[in-house]
Amino acid sequence: MIIVLKQQISEKHKEAIRSFLVEKGYTVKEIIGQEETIFGAVGQSTIDIREVQMLEGVASVVPISKPYKLASRELKKEDTIVTVGNVKIGGNRIAIMAGPCAVESREQIMTIAASVREAGAVILRGGAFKPRTSPYAFQGLGEEGLKYLKEAGQAYGMPVTTEIVNPSDAPMMTKYIDMFQIGARNMQNFELLKAVGKTGMPVLLKRGLCATIEEWLMAAEYLMASGTDQVVLCERGIRTYERATRNTLDVSAIPVVQKMTHLPVIGDPSHATGMRDMVSPMSLALIASGASGLIVEVHNNPEKAFSDGPQSLYPSQFEKLMRDLQALSAVVGKSLERIPRLQASSLPDAQVAVSASSDLIVAFQGERGAYSELAIRRAFDETTQVLPCPSFSSVFDAVMQGKAAYGMIPVENTLGGTLYENLDLLDRHPAIQVVGEQQIRIIHNLIALPGAKKEEIREIYSHPQGLAQCAQFLQNEMAHAQAIPFFDTAGAVGHIKQVGDTTKAAIAGVPAAKVHGMEILQEGIESNSRNYTRFYIICREERSAVYRSSVAVNRASLNFTVPDRPGSLFEALLVLTKHGLNMKKLESRPIPGKPWEYSFFVETELGDAGAFETALEELKALCHSIRVLGTFTANH
């Protein structure tokens, strides 16, 4: 059952409810959601729910109607984000796992790890215990294979996953791996599920060959009831009468499962099809259907593979697939998970001179639910605390004063162009550095109070940019309503909520509707769907080195001024050319207090090792002034 707690409940009453339930034989799990805190109570005993209803601090009690309880969306409305090493699975990210079917040798797994990591995979797979249809087929290298897998994962900074077949192996395997895989053939091996659940480690749970979705979720329930809440489901094809493919990929299971459970679900196009040529198209189908990731078999020499060679991609095919997925991820409004990922909480505080309490806080301009907040959730974490600020300059102030560890500032939109204010603010804050970038696709929605009807809307509020970007929709479908400019998209949603008028609507992102409990009347109403905003992640200089130490930087932002003579800008840019540095952006900005003089803002790739440093020295000699605004990892 779900026990919804009152908002102002005291710790004492909370504990009293918990011990009451435990005494009655329930296992109790506290779930802190965005809107409410609940206790999920599961167990074999049955009591009259009115007994719980009467307890002090209980707002309501709802029985869970599904046989799977801990896994059900009824219990937990928000998506679960599973953490595997430094990789996150679920929410708005797409995590790609790749590697050979089986670890065959140290050299083989090292070679494949290097190529899948280079292409963008974030988790390394490789079987050490292979459940084979034939007892005469290769059974895996066992513990020796686990050692090689771990070594390869560590060498390339990737967490690793592998299949467990024997419950008694669980404690031994925890030394080597970051996530257990339960294979399709073992999905209903309940002793195995219990042993793995008990470790508390993340688990990739494949759907059984003949399992219904409900049976699959019941298997997840076994894992969760035994002690892990870190479960990722994996659709890998089911057995049907069709023999043209190895199995039949049940793509529709993805959206179905997402409605039923809060757990992330990924797809395995390799075992589903059994044929290399079908792996890429089915990968795209899985991501298009909403999957949170893929597990793909890749082999450097598939013809000689000990198992599943015909379905293993060549490294070059995998690389191409990753590029296609990069393009598709923006279409589905998600980002490809990268490693190492940045976690505000993982940065050692001792090395930074800002207060510990600000360590998890990221500042942004706008109200809760703004697109900048979405960018924060993508770059950091769903649980990161955010600090909404009234203006861009107050974001810089919050970072300078240590009220926030980081700031997320938009710098460019593919339709609207550069946000000059933020470039100028960077120029004016020498103690602030750019340490990261985040891109998001801007998807506008028509949002109104629950129960409102599109045809009855008379006024539509949004930021002028939001209104302009939905001009076609407003003209063609909402001619009966008046467009009214508002200072902020998410703020417009808050305004409608406050006035409580069902004839008013706002244009904003999905998070703004969620934050305010509003209804989306129509999704994706922007005229041009190729609408992306790029953000910079900023922080104080002293924190920047710590942040960068966990990422592989490939881009620099510079600001410089050149002498007032013919060819001076040309000569500066020639330095970049000479050292093979690809310039990605160039802007000129007026210098305050110096009429008709300009500073130049440049973004450049870093080129080969040492090239940027050498170029910088040469630029210093040519420029009047030059400052590196930051170095970071760019994804385009």
Q: Which residues are catalytic?
A: 533, 535
Q: How far is the CB of 209 from ligand PEP (least distance, A)?
A: 8
Of residues 76, 93, 117, 236, which one binds ligand PEP by CB under 6 A?
Answer: 236
Helices 420-428 and 392-400, axial angle in degrees (round to 10): 30
- Least distance (Å) from Mn ion to the CB of residue 121? 16
- Decide which of Mn ion, ligand PEP, none touches 236; Cβ closer than 5 to 8 Å per partner kind: ligand PEP
Among the listed residues 3, 75, 101, 496, the single contact to ligand PEP using CB under 6 A: 101
Q: Which residues 6+ apart lie within 8 Å of 634 measured at CB?
A: 437, 554, 555, 584, 603, 605
Residue whose CB is less far from ligand PEP, 101 or 263 = 101
Look at residue 24 and give the partner it binds from ligand PEP, Mn ion, none, a contact being a CB closer than 5 to 8 Å depending on partner kind: none
Strands 335-336 and 482-485: unpaired
What type of residue sits at position 124?
Answer: L
Output the residue with the shortest Cβ distance to ligand PEP.
183
Question: Judged by CB under 6 A, which stretch of 183-191, 381-389, 452-460, 576-584 contacts ligand PEP?
Answer: 183-191
Asked if 126 and 102 touch (Cβ cutoff 8 Å), the reply is yes
Interaction between residue 441 and ligand PEP (CB under 6 A): no
Work out which of 184, 220, 224, 623 binds ligand PEP, going by CB under 6 A: 184
Q: Which does 407 bind (CB under 5 to 8 A by kind): ligand PEP, Mn ion, none?
A: none
Please choose which of ligand PEP, Mn ion, none residue 183 contacts, taking the beta carbon within 5 to 8 angstroms, the exact cut-off set by kind: ligand PEP
Question: How many alpha carbons fall within 13 Å on the CB side of residue 114?
Answer: 6
First to last CA, the chain: 47
Binding site for Mn ion (CB under 5 A): 101, 308
**Would you put residue 240 in left (φ > 0), alpha (ψ -120 to 50) or beta?**
beta
If contact means CB under 5 to 8 A according to the sort of partner, which of Mn ion, ligand PEP, none does residue 152 touch?
none
Q: CB burial class (10 A; 0-12, 13-18, 19+) of residue 12? A: exposed
Least separation in angstroms between residue 305's CB and Mn ion is 9
How would you classify the pairing of strands 37-42 and 27-32?
antiparallel
Per the CB < 8 A criterion, the answer to whether 485 and 462 are in contact is yes
Q: Are 225 and 27 in contact (CB under 8 A)?
A: yes
Which of these segments, 177-185, 215-223, 491-499, 571-579, binds ligand PEP (CB under 6 A)?
A: 177-185
Q: Among residues 272 and 376, whose Cβ is nearest to ligand PEP?
A: 272
Closest CB to ligand PEP among residues 178, 373: 178
Binding site partner of 40, from ligand PEP, Mn ion, none, Cβ cut-off 5-8 A by kind: none
Pick the closer one to ligand PEP by CB: 14 or 185. Answer: 185
Q: Which is nearer to ligand PEP, 295 or 426 (CB)?
A: 295
Going edge to edge, which strands form the sheet with 58-62? 27-32, 37-42, 2-5, 58-62
Phi/psi at 235 (5° precision)? -80, 125
Query: Between 185 and 627, whose beta carbon lies closer to ligand PEP?
Result: 185
Residues 6+ apart with CB under 8 A from 471: 527
Q: Which of 85, 99, 127, 494 forms a contact with ligand PEP (CB under 6 A)?
A: 127
Q: Which is nearer to ligand PEP, 248 or 393 (CB)?
A: 248
Binding mask 188-217 for ligand PEP (x = CB under 6 A): ------------------x-----------
Three-state SS annotation for 448-461: ECCCCCHHHCCEEE
Instruction: Single out the residue of 246, 271, 276, 579 in contact with ligand PEP (rule: CB under 6 A).
Output: 271
Are 408 and 535 contacting, i.e. CB atoms less than 8 angstroms apart? yes
Least Cβ distance, residue 295 to ligand PEP (angstroms): 7
- Cβ nearer to ligand PEP, comparing 270 with 604: 270
206 contact choice in ligand PEP, Mn ion, none (CB below 5 to 8 Å, kind-dependent): ligand PEP
Angle at 195 between CA 191 and CA 200, to 5 degrees: 145
Q: Which residues contact 35 (CB under 8 A, 6 or more apart)?
A: 517
**Residues near ligand PEP, by CB under 6 A:** 101, 127, 183-185, 206, 236, 268, 271
